[in-house]
Chains A and B, each alone.
Chain A
Amino acid sequence: MADADRDDLDALAGEFVLGTLPADERRAAEARYTADPAFRRLVSDWESRLQLLADTAGDVPVSSTLRERVLNAVAAAPAAGEPGDNVLDLRRSVRRWRAVSAIVGAAAAVLAAIVVTDQTRPAPQTEFVAVLTAGGESPAFVATVNTAAGTISVRRVTAVAPPDKSYELWSIAPDEAPKSLGVVEASYSQPLPVPPSAELTLAITLEPKGGSPTGAPSGPPVFSGKLVATEE
């Protein structure tokens, strides 16, 4: 990584910890934290550097009601490691993808944001956002899911595939093999064969022109991220 890129990444990590990133950039950084050990280290260093400032706040006792509320909420929540925990699912996916690929870390320094939202209802209660990261700040793709029509559309923002390659989009449900959603051309809209949910990871790989010949990804994802439900 060039020095300038590394400095940018370090400043991004610093602002992430500081808390001043806009919401979409923060979510991108969170996804990156899960997927990228180098970024995780930069963030951890910032957390440690600034922790003394947090310590100046001292202690404020919590009520016993709060303790009960929190423990009850957790008793009802899926545990980390149980199905339904999408952060862990993402990490598993990332590990699985890495395990089948020797080309770890060679991916382009680009980041893709996939925004999945229900555009048919005037006031959706939940918006799904997934951020596909591979090492930078600017979005490479934006995808929209029309949940009523059951389709997913992807708009290319910055990413450009080499002339002899194609981008292929995959959906990865927990503990399942990646499912191809087809080659992403300049204008892409396809049926989404699975319901959009926070358990889904979306990933894009570079494949031979026309898509993977085997029906399975032939390389690591160059952009990937999980769907997260955001509150509106």
Chain B
Amino acid sequence: MAGGTQAELAALLGDVARGDRRAFALLFERTAAKLKASVYRILRSEAAAEDAVQDAYLRIWRRAADFDAAIASPIAWMTTIARHAAIDMVRRGAERVSAAGDAIDAEVIERLADPAGGGEQRATSDQIRSCLERLEADRRGMVLLAYCYGWSREELAGRYGRPAATVKTILRRSLIALKECLGGGR
């Protein structure tokens, strides 16, 4: 991918917050393929994914001043916006091909085992993988389906045969367990 270091992306976002459209074009170049991958995984349709990417970048344009370089990672901040844009489309009833349930956590965990970056990223990646594997299978599946595939509490409730309110509790407990396993900080 075109990429760009976190510092470069943060600087671009700073320029975008001041209304710099050239910086915005550069930011798009460097990050669009990555954001599209995240939304494509949720929407499973080329056309819907491109619509979601467009929506996401308009939100990024409007909200760039919200980005706080002191505490947030630019790509992670943009990823949340993009995933939310895709999830909004799904919730509005955009057609999506449902991801086949069972293969999912295996697939994601498999990929965590082979991160693009080496070294430090590899270490972090191993850590989150082992923390995910420590979660009960259902809980792990819920977290991954929600994060990677944009499943709602209701969809998860249907699949796992639990009330939606219980799913909320399970998701929150699983996240906190994950956080504690990862050491509380980042």
A-side residues, CB < 8 A to B, are 7, 10-11, 14-15, 17-20, 22-23, 26, 33-34, 37, 40-41, 43-63, 65-67, 69-71, 73-75, 77, 79-82, 85, 87-88, 91, 231
Contacts and interface: CB of A to CB of B under 8 A. Distances in A.
Nearest to A34: B66
A14 B175 contact: yes
Tell which of A56, A67, A74 has the most Cβ of chain B within 10 Å: A56
Nearest to B72: A44
B179 A57 contact: no
B73 interface: yes
SS class, residues of chain A in contact with chain B: helix
B71 interface: yes
A200 B150 CA distance: 31
A68 to B, nearest CB: 10
Interface in B90-145: 91-92, 108, 111-112, 115-116, 121, 124-125, 128, 143-144
Interface residue tally on B, bucketed by range: 35 or more
Nearest to B176: A11
Contact of B61 (A17, A23, A60, A74): A74
A38 B52 CA distance: 29
Contacts of B62: 77, 80, 85, 87
Task: Classify the secondary structure of B's interface with A.
Answer: helix
Contacts of A71: 21, 24-25, 28
Nearest to B109: A56
12 contacts: A14-B172, A15-B172, A18-B171, A20-B168, A43-B80, A52-B121, A59-B33, A59-B34, A62-B36, A62-B50, A67-B29, A80-B19
A67 B32 contact: yes
Nearest to A16: B80
A85 to B, nearest CB: 6
B186 interface: yes
A23 B53 CA distance: 19
A70 B53 contact: yes
Nearest to B184: A45
Given A52-B112, A80-B65, A81-B65, A57 B38 contact: yes
Contact of B79 (A54, A61, A63): A54
Given A15-B175, A62-B32, A80-B19, A70 B115 contact: no
A170 to B, nearest CB: 23
Q: Which of A34, A37, A44, A73 has the most CB of B within 10 A?
A: A44
A79 B168 CA distance: 37
B148 interface: yes
A71 B27 CA distance: 11
Contacts of B11: none
Interface string B160-182: 00000001100110011011001
A40 B65 contact: no
Nearest to A71: B25
B175 A47 contact: no
Contacts of A51: 73, 75-76, 79
Contacts of B172: 11, 14-15
Interface in B27-58: 28-29, 32-34, 36-38, 40-41, 49-50, 53-54, 57-58
